[in-house]
Amino acid sequence: MKKLLLALMLAAGPAMAGNIPAKQGGMQSNNPAAHTVPVMEGTSAPVFLGPAAANSIIAGTGVTTDPAIVTPSAWLDAVFGSTQGQIIYRGASTWSALAPGTSGTFLETLGAGANPTWAVPSSGGLAWAINAATEYGVTCNGSTNDTTAINNALTAAAASVTRRIVQLPSGTCVISTLNAITASGVTLQGMGHSSTILKTNSATGDIITIGAASEVAVPVGVQLIGFSVLTSVTRTANACVHKYAASRTLIYDIDCESTFIGAFLDGTWAGTGNGDYNTFIHYSYFENNTYGIQIGTAAATYATNWPQNVFLDHLDVSGNSFGVYILNCGGCNSTSVQGINNGTGFDVTPGSGSAVIGLFSSGDQWDTSSGPGFLIGGTGYVSGVQVSGLWASSSTGSNGIGIAINNSNARGMGFENCHVVNNAQMGIWAEAGSYMTFTGCTVSLNSQATSGAHSGMEIASGASHVTVTGGRYGAGFEFATGATTNPQGYGIYAASTSFIQIQGVDSTGNISTGSGCVANPTGTAGVGVSCVTLTNTSIGNNL
């Protein structure tokens, strides 16, 4: 500051009203106040500026008037004007002010060689979006093939700094398959799943692709919002949405029907280790596919190409051969996902070398499946499973089981407050696996195919360290007013199994009564609990 003041004083030239003195001898006061700036005598008397408030500046006011201490805001008002909404920018040779734009316009920058200007958004579009209809000729009229036009809009979005949303109009957009979205921050957005429809004429090929198997730098923040994907041909392979490794991907209000695979979260990339994180699929529909949602691949391992942190929320996954099909995942979360008329509702089936670690299900509903409603199978490693409030009911056929666990490498599983009722075979089948708990579940009206052939819960010889606490494993659940016959043989049947704990269970109202294989603390046989060759087992305080 001292150097700047000195420079100003030296540059002031001859003494003149309004100038800062060129030397101390030009001052006309013998007793200046501290923290003041001397100014050569004014029109009638010496002037000292200050002390000044913080962040003030000295502003020149002309050759015939004295300088003044002003605020930066007052100085800008004096130089550029005080109109609300104007913008200050650097022009080719000086600073200038851009007058306020009219309501609804947006500020558009045109690069380093031009000045910013106010622009009018494309008709029907957002200011920051590419209007695919008006700018690239997307028709969505149900007959014109819009593949090239949509691809051109996506290419433009990938190249833009600020306009990365491609907005599709309402209507039916005929397409084959779209180019892969490999740039970060690109959004493909329709007018809602019931208004914008992409209708493919391709029997194979991924319809929409995010990322690529050959990519090392994965796309971040890609979004698919508000459209349906239907087909005019029978699809025999590939997916509606195929997502390779990517980060922070959002799929929202999307409907994929009869596309072979609805959403395929692959996780594959060309980098080392894992590159796929944080996939969010919300309020969407995946119906009448072979796989509604597939997570992971059979060839992947938990060390590479492993989808991590997947969030499924408020989805309808119905009419598929497999509703949710998980082969490989770390941190899979499923909340309020419902599905009816699937082959298997929720299928966790990692292969050898693969793993599903950290699986959380809350409030999911799987009904009228032709196989298990909820299955943990395969041969890979499964651990850290927590299921709460599950509805797994009314499964039909020879594999019509509510909850089935038949993976010997599955361990550390907890089921809480589940409703497993009205299934053709057993309600819960623990065929293999270890360290599993069932707390407060309702298991009733199972063995619908043949009365008495199966029990509410069956624990096979391949399962161990099974704990059942509380809940009902017998009569008491009704679909309509009035009594409903419960066809379960036993409430719980354990065969040649060790390390079984059954405590506080109400298993009354089944066809068979308990064998009394282990006495209650009160000396009464456990009604509705049958056990064969049990070791290290405790059964007590049951009804």
Q: Write out pLDDT tens, residues 446-495.
A: 999 999 999 999 999 899 999 999 999 988 887 765 556 889 988 888 87
Closest CA to 293 of 301, 285, 283, 305: 285
In a shared domain, residues 381 and 305: yes
State how many domains the chain has: 2
Residue burial 120-158, b: 16+ Cβ < 10 Å; e: rest: eebeebeeebbbbbebbebbbeeeeebbebbbbbbebbb
Query: By the 8 A CB rule, do 61 and 73 touch?
Result: no
How far apart CA 339 and CA 490 sit, in angstroms, is 29
How far apart CA 481 and CA 474 sit, in angstroms, is 18
In a shared domain, residues 42 and 139: no
The distance of Cα 42 from the centroid of its chain, to the nearest Å, equals 70
In a shared domain, residues 6 and 144: no
- Is residue 401 a part of any domain in this protein? yes
- The helix or strand, by DSSP H or E, that contains position 147, with its residue range, turns out to be helix 147-159
List beta partners, residue 107: 118
List beta partners, residue 433: 463
In a shared domain, residues 339 and 252: yes
Q: Are strands 428-439 and 457-469 parallel, antiparallel or unpaired?
A: parallel
What is the residue whose two structure tokens read 């006495």?
A: 519
- Is residue 225 a part of any domain in this protein? yes
What is the residue whose two structure tokens read 């390390």?
A: 499
Query: By the 8 A CB rule, do 379 and 353 touch?
Result: no
- Is residue 113 a part of any domain in this protein? no
- Is residue 94 a part of any domain in this protein? no
The domain that contains 459 carries what CATH number?
A: 2.160.20.10
Tokens of 151: 């691809």
In a shared domain, residues 145 and 14: no
Closest CA to 67 of 82, 80, 56, 81: 56
Query: By the 8 A CB rule, do 328 and 302 touch?
Result: yes
Average pLDDT, the chain: 84
In a shared domain, residues 20 and 137: no
The last residue of one of the domains, among 53, 79, 105, is 79
- Is residue 404 a part of any domain in this protein? yes
- Is residue 116 a part of any domain in this protein? no
- Is residue 325 a part of any domain in this protein? yes
pLDDT confidence of residue 167: 96
pLDDT confidence of residue 116: 86
Range of the domain at 25: 2-79
The last residue of one of the domains, among 42, 63, 79, is 79
In a shared domain, residues 154 and 44: no
Instruction: Calculate the alpha carbon distances from 487 to 419, 444, 509 in Å.
Output: 16, 8, 9
In a shared domain, residues 476 and 343: yes
Strands (E), 9-157: 37-39, 47-49, 57-59, 68-70, 87-90, 95-98, 106-108, 117-119, 129-131, 141-145
pTM of the shown model: 0.76
pLDDT confidence of residue 15: 39
pLDDT confidence of residue 208: 98
In a shared domain, residues 171 and 278: yes
211-242 tens-digit pLDDT: 999 988 899 999 999 999 999 999 999 999 99
pLDDT confidence of residue 41: 52
Confidence of residue 40 (pLDDT cuts 50, 70, 90): low
Question: How many other CB atoms are found less than 10 A from the CB of residue 51?
Answer: 12
Question: 300 versus 27: which is more confidently predicted?
Answer: 300
Tokens of 162: 């600020």
How far apart CA 457 and CA 437 sit, in angstroms, is 12
In a shared domain, residues 430 and 332: yes
In a shared domain, residues 243 and 373: yes
Q: Residue by residue, what is the 3-state secondary structure of 313-332?
A: EEEEEECCCEEEEECCEEEE
130-146 tens-digit pLDDT: 999 999 999 999 999 99
- Is residue 354 a part of any domain in this protein? yes
Query: By the 8 A CB rule, do 349 and 359 touch?
Result: no
The last residue of one of the domains, among 38, 63, 79, is 79
Tokens of 98: 């851009």
Q: Is the bond leading into 219 cis (omega within 30 degrees of zero)?
A: no
Tokens of 111: 């690069």
Closest CA to 280 of 253, 255, 320: 253
In a shared domain, residues 325 and 229: yes
